[in-house]
Structure 1
Amino acid sequence: MVFAGKLRVKKRWWALAILTVAVVASPIWLGFGLWRIADALQVSASMGAKLGCSGHFISGQDNQQILQDLASYSPANSLLELHYSSSNVAANLLGIRQASATYRPGLGCTLDIGDTQPLDRLQLSSAKADLSPGLPQQISASWQSKLDDLLAADNAKGLDSRALLLVKDGKLVAESYATGYNAYTPLLGWSMAKSVTAIMQGRMQQLGLVNENNMSLFDEWRSDRRASIRLSQLLQMTSGLDFDETYAPGTDAANMLFIAHDASALPLHSDIAYEPGRHFAYSSGTTNVIMRYLNQQLGGNQAALDFLHQELVQPLGLSHFYLETDPSGVFVGSSYLYASGRDWASLGQLLLNNGNWQGQQLLNKEWLFRATQPNSSENDDRYGYQLWLNAGRNKAEDARRWPQLPADAYAMLGNRKQVVMVIPSWNLVFVRLGWSKSDYPTAENISALMH
């Protein structure tokens, strides 16, 4: 027995040594010191619990697929063990670090950090019967054949495309899905959630609940330089807030998503590094500050949940849509949105329709115009209200983000090369959901489809 115990300890130390090398060598964690190893282990465990829970309960993925997706971020994640119960997933990293996440029907999964009992009191008031019919469909054999061929070509190259959809002239004309996924599978869009946060703000503005020109947004900001930050500058990522978007152990972004009870608290207390409006800096923390502000203006977590579903989910017919919260109950507007391909396509079509959906003006046309205009920064103006723009003030082809596409193209973009591309001049919305570690030829593929 003593020998067996020593053997287990020895194996654990060997595993820890291998784990340390794996974490340090991982591309996502490059550049941090060994003193961050404890942070790295906890982030891996928390990532495993969170993505494992949502992948299992929302997307219906099996354990093998979940672990494969996790390992694409770090070899260390391949050492995770995930344990599933009726409403919870627990992650164990060699007995060194643990984390768990809980699924709540209609709400999705949330990490079990701090007091999460208030989440149990949140109630989803909407019912599927209240949903609108959603995106009109008119499947075209020719478009369908092209999209099927594209999906097959993607996955023959190892790009791991899971859903491709094409909306032309206001109708869904083709949709193609990889094995294991279908039109009803909610898939994680990562940072495409940021664009939905902007849409939520736009809907609130249409109803007179907020205004993009609002300043002095938080009590914590009213006595310093942050009082001059406008909501529009947060939307454009030109607020000047100092937030480290690097995804490495101990950084702002990693702590916000995988360690914190209150995700927006860290960016809320960030200092200001640039004069507002002068410098573009992509920041997930900024988006979560926006969502915190919207939550406060609506009156708290239950009111925000009611608003989202009554004012966006129901009218748009988003039947497989989960915008998840942090452990404090505030939506993680930067990252945690699961939706079906059709739901993502509907959100893109709402933008293409100038905010009108089946006769209802959900977003003000003037707001949407401003949302798709270049920002005022001096370093990169090709970003609107949480939307990536093809062209800034310089419309020349060689200055475009996607030279193969028209200058008026703009997109929701998410990690793993997720995209909802909106091209007004082509009257087209293209959706790609998948899990690509390498670059994905979005513009080339869309251009090839259209020519």
Structure 2
Amino acid sequence: MTEEHVIPIELLLATTAKVLASAVFVSGREPAEAFAHSAPSALHANQLPDVLRQHARWALDRPGRRVDIQLSMTPEVAAQLVAAHRAAYPGFETDWEGEERRLATLGNLKGSAQYVPDQGCLILPRDGDRSVVFEPIQLRRGPRPMSNWCGAHRPLPAVQQVIEAALGDKDAHHAALLVIRGGDIVGEGYAAGLSGDQPLESWSMGKSVMSTLIGQLVGSGALALDAPAPVPAWQAPGDPRAQITLRHLLNMSSGLRCTGQDDPRSSWRDGLPEHFLPYTQALDVEQFATNRPAEHPPATVGRYRNCDTLTLATIFHSTVRSLGSNPLTWPQATLFDRVGMHGLIQEPDRAGRFIASGFNYGTARDWARLGLLYLRGGLWQGDRVLPEEWTRFVRAPAPAWKQGQYGGQFWINSIGEFPLPPDTFYMAGGGGQYVFIAPSIDTVIVRMGHSCGWVNAKNKVNEALGALLPVLSLETA
């Protein structure tokens, strides 16, 4: 088979620019460090990170708050890109000679991203237009979570020893490890050069944030879990998408057509699964998500697809607007400030809708606070932040998932992927970002990592968890 664009190098450069811009202007990392550890690996093997690290060059405009990633496409680079892609997808055949010739004619390429205070960074379209079609707004955040904690800070030597040993494993690429037991911090550590006040790339853990915001709207009566999803594009007579509910979207079982990494490489358009396209271009979230056709009846197939979360983001945006509030400030006032999550940043598209499926940044303590909120059944120091039934819903197996490992934008440890109790449910993001919530041992564990370690991330996380659990069990005993 043949494709016009087998290797979407322009999209990959845009992702690299965006991730590097956020690392610098949101996280406060040094650009050389962030380029080495994060930016070229953001989409894992799809981004051909080894070739990009070798040949791409970054340019940082601090006063203009802009990052450009530039690549001079020589025949040598084109040949290396093709070789790397063929190695990543050994069963995939196409006109490789033609693709190599196409790449070699592209000349000097550039991907760009821009910081927009206080919203984060956005991919710029190829014409370089920096305008946005929403009004950026200053977010009044409190002190970053390192300045205080809602419980005690009482490090346990055995827990701290496990954390320090894990951080010393250079092949693990851990960025942060944090253990909460009984509401207290019993262990915490960060990679060299990082601090606990830096919001780090969190990727799909943002899905759990969007679930939490939707849960608050359901709890207030503004939305209903089993009513048809309020998406105008789906309401035409005979449109099968009119049967999709919020529950279906939250359970990742909407049935919308959206290719993913688990689909055959030959089914991808433009060289990437559609699941990744929101991270590669100046894309309109609402159009991307709600214009997708139906492929399966809702609640019949469970599969992990960004279109479901991004549809939730558009519903959140329109619902909060209908309540007379600003969607950009509503999460801060309604959720983050109430639990002290002052370092969490949700980046929007150019229309101001959150790219909630993945462009999220938070500190380890931000994520620990959200995990603790769920561990306490939606209560925060006596304040009912979430309906109690919502915490039960997000950890209940979605019926369409055959192995029961997914809930309501949270994963469930039902098949024992991690050496933690079977009642553990968790947030997860690309590159090994995790918040584990284990009610039976009254524990929250946060692990954040650099994308360059994605290949071994789960194994390294399991090593750390395997060392932690006996220590925590001894403490219980």
What range is the shorter-chain TM-score in?
0.7 to 0.9
- 2:301–2:400: 8 Å Cα contact kept in structure 1? yes
Q: Does structure 1 residue 227 correspond to structure 2 residue 242?
A: yes
Q: Does structure 1 residue 146 correspond to structure 2 residue 162?
A: yes
Q: Distance in 2 between matches of 1:320 and 1:97?
A: 34
Aligned to 1:314: 337
Aligned to 1:414: 429
Q: Distance in 2 between matches of 1:424 and 1:294?
A: 29
- Residue 134 of structure 1: how far off its partner (Å): 4.8
- 1:43-71 Cα deviation digits (max 9, x unpaired): 12201210111011112222222222234
- 1:422–1:430: 8 Å Cα contact kept in structure 2? yes
- 1:267–1:285: 8 Å Cα contact kept in structure 2? yes
- 1:17-49 Cα deviation digits (max 9, x unpaired): xxxxxxxxxxxxxxx966315x61111220121
Aligned to 1:26: none
Q: Does structure 1 residue 400 correspond to structure 2 residue 426?
A: no
Structure 1 segment 223-262 matched on structure 2, within 5 A: 223=236, 224-246=239-261, 249-262=271-284
Of 39, 42, 53 in structure 2, the residue corresponding to residue 70 of structure 1 is: 39
CA 77–263 in structure 1, closer or farther in 2 if over 3 Å, else same: farther
Of 345, 356, 360 in structure 2, the residue corresponding to residue 337 of structure 1 is: 360
Q: Distance in 1 between matches of 2:363 and 2:325?
A: 24
Number of aligned residue pairs: 408
- 2:163–2:464: 8 Å Cα contact kept in structure 1? no
Q: Which runs of 5+ in 2 are unaligned?
A: 73-106, 262-267, 471-477
Aligned to 1:217: 230
- 1:136–1:170: 8 Å Cα contact kept in structure 2? yes
Q: Distance in 2 between matches of 1:203 and 1:168?
A: 26
Q: Distance in 2 between matches of 1:137 and 1:34?
A: 58
- Residue 118 of structure 1: how far off its partner (Å): 4.1
Structure 1 segment 22-33 matched on structure 2, within 5 A: none
Letter of the structure 1 residue corresponding to residue 56 of structure 2: L
Q: Does structure 1 residue 54 correspond to structure 2 residue 22?
A: yes
Q: Does structure 1 residue 97 correspond to structure 2 residue 109?
A: yes
| More off after superposition, 77-86 vs 356-365 | 77-86
Aligned to 1:438: 455
Q: Distance in 1 between matches of 2:463 and 2:422?
A: 15
Q: Distance in 1 between matches of 2:130 and 2:311?
A: 20
Aligned to 1:188: 201
Q: TM-score normalized by structure 1?
A: 0.84
Aligned to 2:57: 81
Q: Distance in 1 between matches of 2:230 and 2:293?
A: 15
Letter of the structure 2 residue corresponding to residue 81 of structure 1: R
- Residue 97 of structure 1: how far off its partner (Å): 2.3
Q: Distance in 2 between matches of 1:119 and 1:163?
A: 36
- Residue 289 of structure 1: how far off its partner (Å): 0.8
CA 139–104 in structure 1, closer or farther in 2 if over 3 Å, else same: farther
Letter of the structure 1 residue corresponding to residue 137 of structure 2: Q
Q: Distance in 2 between matches of 1:191 and 1:271?
A: 23
- SS at 1:234's partner residue? helix
Q: Does structure 1 residue 294 correspond to structure 2 residue 309?
A: no
Of 34, 40, 44 in structure 1, the residue corresponding to residue 8 of structure 2 is: 40
Letter of the structure 2 residue corresponding to residue 181 of structure 1: L
- 2:344–2:361: 8 Å Cα contact kept in structure 1? yes
- 1:368-408 Cα deviation digits (max 9, x unpaired): 111110111153322111000012xxxxxxx4333x32110
- Residue 261 of structure 1: how far off its partner (Å): 2.7
- Residue 197 of structure 1: how far off its partner (Å): 0.8
CA 213–271 in structure 1, closer or farther in 2 if over 3 Å, else same: same
Identity %: 25
CA 124–388 in structure 1, closer or farther in 2 if over 3 Å, else same: same
CA 293–116 in structure 1, closer or farther in 2 if over 3 Å, else same: farther
CA 129–56 in structure 1, closer or farther in 2 if over 3 Å, else same: closer
Structure 1 segment 264-303 matched on structure 2, within 5 A: 264-299=286-321, 303=326
Q: TM-score normalized by structure 2?
A: 0.80
- SS at 1:167's partner residue? strand
CA 129–173 in structure 1, closer or farther in 2 if over 3 Å, else same: closer
CA 76–184 in structure 1, closer or farther in 2 if over 3 Å, else same: same
Q: Which runs of 5+ in 1 are unaligned?
A: 1-31, 392-398
Q: Distance in 1 between matches of 2:154 and 2:335?
A: 25
- SS at 2:188's partner residue? strand
Structure 1 segment 160-179 matched on structure 2, within 5 A: 160-179=173-192
Letter of the structure 2 residue corresponding to residue 179 of structure 1: A
Aligned to 1:128: 142
Letter of the structure 1 residue corresponding to residue 347 of structure 2: E
Q: Does structure 1 residue 450 correspond to structure 2 residue 469?
A: yes
- 2:134–2:352: 8 Å Cα contact kept in structure 1? no
Q: Distance in 1 between matches of 2:144 and 2:425?
A: 31
- 1:163–1:433: 8 Å Cα contact kept in structure 2? yes
CA 378–326 in structure 1, closer or farther in 2 if over 3 Å, else same: closer
CA 101–231 in structure 1, closer or farther in 2 if over 3 Å, else same: same
Aligned to 2:90: none
CA 127–423 in structure 1, closer or farther in 2 if over 3 Å, else same: closer
Of 363, 373, 389 in structure 2, the residue corresponding to residue 350 of structure 1 is: 373
Aligned to 1:389: 412
- 2:17–2:112: 8 Å Cα contact kept in structure 1? yes
- 1:408–1:424: 8 Å Cα contact kept in structure 2? yes
